Amino acid sequence: MATTDSPPSGYQPSNQLRDSLAAWEKAVEETEPEAREALEAGIAQELRDDRQLSLNVLAQHLPFSAEMLRLLMANRDVPPRERHRQTEGGPPVYKPSDRLRDLRSAWYAAGDHVKKTRATLEASIADELKAHPALTNAEVAEHLPWSQEQVRVIARAHEVPRRRKRGSDHKLIEEKGAPKAVTVPYDWYVQQPGADPGITRR
């Protein structure tokens, strides 16, 4: 029977996985932050254009609370709010400008793009594991910004067959400090020459 230890695989990600990872990283590090910054700048301009526009009213049209808007606008040279004078009649009904609506839509789209590229990346990871049955979660994780546990979660979500153990992962059983036995994964054992066909999974 073959030894229970195995040399490193020398695994390198496929082009598909590399491209998926690059697309997701760009979405997270560039696309979404740029859209968020543009939206915040647009909010500041909206408040500059209408001194009577309150944060509470503006927050009704954005995915931010009034308190969050106060924090976001702290260093953007937004002038203090002016109170509406009752003698001028009822306060005007606020409608977001076309510019602000476009920036808001662009930020939502950027968030959707992050989710889409993340889903594509996870599917590529699953494809990689399915295409290389001997490949472990840890070996794939070395090329990702995630732990092997996260790769395991992705594998389970995509129903990747659970064959991710290498020989070096087999457990050594010791007795009084001396090696006594080695436990091996069943799927690994039955594939070895000379395996006892009478041994079955319990």
Q: Residue 92: pLDDT above 80? A: no
Q: Residue 38: pLDDT above 60? A: yes
Instruction: Give the per-residue pLDDT at 187.
Output: 65
- DSSP string of the chain, one letter each residue: ---S----------HHHHHHHHHHHHIIIIIHHHHHHHHHHHHHHHHHH-TT--HHHHHTTSSS-HHHHHHHTTTTTPPPPPPPPGGG-SPPPP---HHHHHHHHHHHHHHHHHHHHHHHHHHHHHHHHHH-TT--HHHHHTTSSS-HHHHHHHHHHTT--S----GGGPEEEEETTEEEEEE--HHHHTTSTT--TT----
Instruction: Give the per-residue pLDDT at 196.
Output: 73
Q: What is the mean pLDDT of the chain?
A: 85
- Band (pLDDT 50/70/90 cuts) for residue 175 is confident
Instruction: Give the per-residue pLDDT at 178.
Output: 76
pLDDT in tens, 118-165: 999 999 999 999 998 888 888 999 999 999 999 999 999 999 987 545
